[in-house]
Amino acid sequence: MNAKTSAKSVGTNSKTTMGNPYHNKTAQWIAYTLFFLALAAIPFNVDDDFLLNQLATYGVYGMLALSISLCWGFGGILNLGQGIAFGLGAYGMAMTMQMQTQTAENPVPPIMLNNGLDYLPFLWWPFQNTVSGLIFAVGIPTLFCAVFGRIMFKARVSGAFFAIMTLAMLSAFYTIILDQQAYTGGVNGITPPSPLQLGSFQIDPYSPAAYWTVFFALLIATVIAKLITQSSFGLVTQAIRDDAERVRFLGYSVSSYETTIYTISGLIAAVAGCLWVMVVQYVSPAQLDVGLSISMVIWAAIGGRMSLLWAIIGAFLIQGGQSYLGDAFLSTWLLILGGFFIIVVRFLPNGLASLVEAGLGMLARKPKETSFREPSGVKPVPSE
């Protein structure tokens, strides 16, 4: 697929050099291809297992930023509760991995035994089998998004109201998971003792296999998301972002579109949650913390919420910077991040991507200085 896109683009691109390449669909696909080629080159150049593992977690953050960009950047739905889908996905995966290590003689995980529960609760049943566990891990959060989204959007809850509702819902999940120690491990969460086992294959978090799994998930999610934005659905979604009220009178059921984009975004986040546990072998209520969910929005905002690729890059840059500086400088880093975030919101609504857009625009204009004054093609005819 890569070869095909780039080959095609060489032909079309040379013919249509006018205009900003940032807005050229072919150029966009090339940029995406290059980005993923760069990511694919990493395992061949990194032999530090720990670093590779860390890079895999960035991939997960990238997926989360992607999901936010899709929902907020393209759909205009600010979701401050993406941690719900992420967290539920993560818990589902942790439960599946935990159950993989339980045996017939020892069917009940220690978190239950430690909390005075000597049988496997109903909630855990689907996760006894790996396949059904994975299906439930992704399916439950997705279903939640579909139902919650449907209820909210049908009632025309939108904008800041929806953001607040997602926050409330997130807080609700956070507290219930914290509260139900015997089922969820409470504040300590779940730490599956061994890596994810798929058939006879074990995905060691510190192996390239884990990195590649995340890589392909991110690749597939990005391609699907990009295709969505270029489909008729994507256009209608952007129209809704612009003026939902008007779009209704064109015959589109706005709530269905909003629910769909919100659910797809939740699905991506749920998969990210599963991958996260695969990579770190751990889950706790911190994954449903309000701060994390807002961080996802910050990644997308700083990178550029309107651009899927830049949202991902935003996550890489911010999380990368944070772990590069380490815990000693965490406060300083967050302080700078907060300040930068304010600047982005105030002056750069499209984040770093808008700087790139402006830069490319200038580059594209320069060589065309003469023809710029007289736009090629159709000459505008005065209507009077």
Partner 1 sequence: MAGLLEISHLCKSFDTIKVIDDFSLEVTEGTLCCLVGPNGAGKTTTMDLITGRIKPTSGKITFAGEDITGADEHAIARAGIGRKFQVPAVLRDLTVRENLSVAYSRQTNPFWNLCRFKVPGLEQKIDEISTLADLTHRLGEKAGILSHGETQWLEISMVLMQEPRLMLMDEPIAGMTEGEIEKTARIFKDLRKSTTLIVVEHDMGFVREIADVVTVMHMGTLLAQGSLQEIEADPRVRSVYLGEQEAA
Partner 2 sequence: MDFGSVLNALILGVSIASIWLIAALGLTIIYGAAGVINMAHGALIMLGAYSSYMLQHYIGVPYLLCIPASFVIVAIIGLVLERGLIQYLYDRPLDTLLATYGVSLVLVQGVRLIFGSDPKYLAVPEIFSSNISLGFANISTFRVVVIAVTALLVLALWILFYKTRFGIQVRAVMQNKEMAASFGINSSRIYMMTFALGAGLAGVAGSLFGVLNIVLPTMGDSYVVQAFLMVVAGGGTLAGTVIASGFTGELQSVFAFITNDTFARFVIFLLIVVFLRFRPQGLFAKGGVRR
Which residues within the stretch 212-241 sit at the binding site for partner 2 (CB under 8 A)?
Answer: none
The reply on whether position 122 binds partner 1 by CB under 8 A is no
Task: Decide whether 152 or 315 has the Cβ nearer to partner 2.
Answer: 152
Choose between 170 and 301: whose C-beta lies nearer to partner 1: 301
| Length of the chain in terms of residues written | 384
Question: Binding of partner 2 at residue 178 (CB under 8 A)?
Answer: yes
What is the torsional sign of CA 147, 153, 157, 160? Answer: positive
Among the listed ranges 39-47, 95-103, 225-233, 331-339, the one in contact with partner 1 (CB under 8 A) is: 225-233
Task: Give CA–CA dist 148/82, Å, rounded.
Answer: 12
x/- mask, partner 1, residues 176-215, rule CB under 8 A, reads: ----------------------------------------
Q: Under rule CB under 8 A, which residues in 365-384 are in contact with partner 1?
A: 378-381, 383-384
Alpha-carbon span 111 to 255, nearest angstrom: 41
Based on the shown chain and the rule CB under 8 A, indicate whether residue 1 belongs to the binding site for partner 1.
no
Name the minimum Å distance from CB 384 to partner 1: 7
- Residue 103 near which of partner 1, partner 2, none (CB within 5-8 Å, type-dependent): none
Q: Considering only residues 41, 235, 330, 362, which one is a binding residue for partner 1 as defined by CB under 8 A?
A: 235
Beta-carbon count within 10 A of 124 CB: 20
Q: Which among 244, 312, 270 has a CA at the least distance from the CA of 146?
A: 270
Q: Determine contact, residues 243/45, Cβ cutoff 8 Å.
A: no
The amino acid present at 235, given as its one-letter code, is L
Q: Which of 22, 36, 257, 341 lies at the binding interface for partner 1 (CB under 8 A)?
A: 257
Q: How far is the CB of 81 from partner 2 (least distance, A)?
A: 10
CB of 53 to partner 2, least distance (A): 27
| Nearer to partner 2 among residue 15 and residue 346 (C-beta) | 346
Question: Judged by CB under 8 A, does residue 163 bind partner 2?
Answer: yes
CA distance 89 to 268: 10
Cβ at position 242, least distance to partner 1 in Å? 4
Alpha-carbon distances of 163 from 79, 140, 166, 264, rounded to whole Å: 5, 21, 5, 17
Residues linked to residue 285 through DSSP beta bridges, in sequence order: none
Helices 290-303 and 49-68: angle between axes, nearest 10 degrees: 80
The C-alpha atoms of residue 12 and residue 16 are separated, in whole angstroms, by 6
What is the Cα 90 distance to its own chain's centre?
14
Q: Give contact residues for partner 1 (rule: CB under 8 A).
A: 227-228, 230-233, 235-236, 238-239, 241-243, 245-254, 256-257, 260, 378-381, 383-384
